Structure 1
């Protein structure tokens, strides 16, 4: 290889790295790029996927001036270490995974300006299971079937269709492939940059160099989470095969407290508890299923289907979790306990409409905030 060829390869590599918004130093347990999913392909056997906690991702995007469905990072249980290679306006929503900027605690549920050279670190999940990181302008990975979401099983979307790995460079902010931040985001980034510089200049001598990062003084209160002191409560409607289970099983389903099994993942949440007996022994034809369906395989242990669930299944469905409570399921980690509360279809739809209205009001309130 000639010297000229070596120089050319080096230049290309240097140029690619210069367009990186975030560099992955450590990937964490499972960090992926997710948006709101690839809708319209379930009839072809392709799962919609997308963020497990759609509420947290939507809020994170609104807080940096993005469209709600823009791609962000989904961080699960043990978080990554990321180097910031360009000035960014970010937000972190969802589970609390001890986020820090160069060792200082990063405030959640608000816009945060992070300067080039800073290092974002996440620890273990103290509360919840999944956190979401949004950057103004989004992440500039290609769309596949209309979505940037990672489906690792199908090797589709995200960054090469897989979880992030050490050394990955993520285009975001002003990086190649990412959209330009909105005017609202640019104004907040500029104001918080000045605030960070003023704060850094006031740092006492001998305290070490403080990078000029800063967070907005206001935050968006999370409204999708709740439960009781004994665990998470999921409202659920009777499933299409609810009547095939014994009366004792139907009563137990809404009475028992189940534990989240370690084998749970983005395909489904497996529950540990009293097995549910089905009276009918007839085999079911494989039929369409969607996230939220509670299937009961022959062993009697319920499985709540999640974002990456298969498109068809033949296990009977005893219930279906209300859409409004799916963020609670996304934040349930192994060992947590949940119980089900009966709800009618009309009430579930009313709750969903109310949630959407709340998000619209909150989005308007966020847009009205000017630096």
Structure 2
């Protein structure tokens, strides 16, 4: 079984949860931008949560199934169709041999995930299937998909009858989101005025945002004596403030270390909100403490089926 790329979309890559254990050597984790949508997609088709999926960004493209296939779409709604018939998202569905899945522009949100029962068969490199485009490794030949690519699919491990009624929570994507933040680790480098600015206003996602980082436009965050630091570790969700005073949220393809002060870190349960923001969307930051963040994350996980 396989999926053939007819139109590859704007940025379509093979991803999983990421490549962990190598940041000390300068290798970033990569992986999906929206981990919640990724986990839901694999759950719906009966895959282990480590199975490789396709991540579509803004525009999906067209893909032909070479054999009967069970698949699921989660994340942003791209108006998926097969033969001009709408495809329901957030549930397992079937495709016949020769069917073409067409995905348009994301109406709300930014990223859509396609999981197929059996997962996409790509090489496991350093414990992950994730595509790292900058290093040209992982995924499908270390790059985004292009016309004519053919991705093999593994053997179905679960019958459709056992998964067809599975359900997941369906998020509502908005052009304006509240994102919870744990302060620091360099919060003390900013003035009280700067901190008030950061937490009271709205920041707009800029056009040059990508999988490495979301550059935000808005009021300048005032620092005490600049924001340069001795480079230290970066994580998914770190919020750097460079000399411009405009924050940058580091995302899945973030660098391993950075030399700008970090005013805070996006809580794990809200990273998916950020990942689904498109250029022009607005973000408001809300300060919470670690204990509250952990409690909210546990509550979120307990409500899911996986």
Q: Secondary structure at the match of 1:80?
A: strand
Q: Equivalent of 1:222, from 151, 158, 170? A: 170
Match of 1:238 in 2: 183
Which stretches in structure 2 are left out of the alignment for 5+ residues? none
User: How far 1:355 sits from its partner (Å)?
Assistant: 2.3
Contact 2:227/2:242 (<8 A) preserved: no
Contact 1:294/1:302 (<8 A) preserved: yes
Moved more, 277-286 or 53-62: 277-286
Structure 2 CA distance for partners of 1:119 and 1:226, relative to 1, 3 Å: closer
CA RMSD of aligned residues (A): 1.6
TM-score, normalised relative to structure 1: 0.80
Q: Equivalent of 1:154, from 135, 154, 171? A: 135
What per-residue deviation string (whole Å, max 9, x for no partner) do you get for residues 25-70 of structure 1? Answer: 0000000000000111111110111000011010000000001121
Equivalents in 2 of 1:124, 1:286: separation in Å? 38
Q: Runs ≥4 in structure 1, deviation > 4 angstroms?
A: none
User: How far 1:307 sits from its partner (Å)?
Assistant: 0.4
Structure 2 CA distance for partners of 1:226 and 1:102, relative to 1, 3 Å: closer
Match of 2:76 in 1: 95
Q: Does 1:281 align with 2:226?
A: yes
User: How far 1:357 sits from its partner (Å)?
Assistant: 2.2
Matches within 5 A, 1:190-269: 216=164, 219-222=167-170, 231-269=176-214
Q: Does 1:117 align with 2:98?
A: yes
Equivalents in 2 of 1:282, 1:52: separation in Å? 27
Contact 1:75/1:132 (<8 A) preserved: yes
Contact 2:13/2:145 (<8 A) preserved: yes
Contact 1:22/1:85 (<8 A) preserved: yes
User: How far 1:256 sits from its partner (Å)?
Assistant: 0.6
Equivalents in 2 of 1:351, 1:290: separation in Å? 20
What per-residue deviation string (whole Å, max 9, x for no partner) do you get for residues 1-48 of structure 1? Answer: xxxxxxxxxxxxxxxxxx5x1000000000000000011111111011
Structure 2 CA distance for partners of 1:139 and 1:281, relative to 1, 3 Å: same
Matches within 5 A, 1:161-180: 161-172=142-153, 178=154, 180=155
Contact 2:189/2:227 (<8 A) preserved: no
- Structure number with higher helix proportion: 1
User: How far 1:226 sits from its partner (Å)?
Assistant: 6.3
- Structure number with higher strand proportion: 2
TM-score, normalised relative to structure 2: 0.96
Equivalents in 2 of 1:236, 1:160: separation in Å? 36
What per-residue deviation string (whole Å, max 9, x for no partner) do you get for residues 99-123 of structure 1? Answer: 1111111100000011111000100
User: How far 1:186 sits from its partner (Å)?
Assistant: 4.5
Equivalents in 1 of 2:168, 2:197: separation in Å? 38
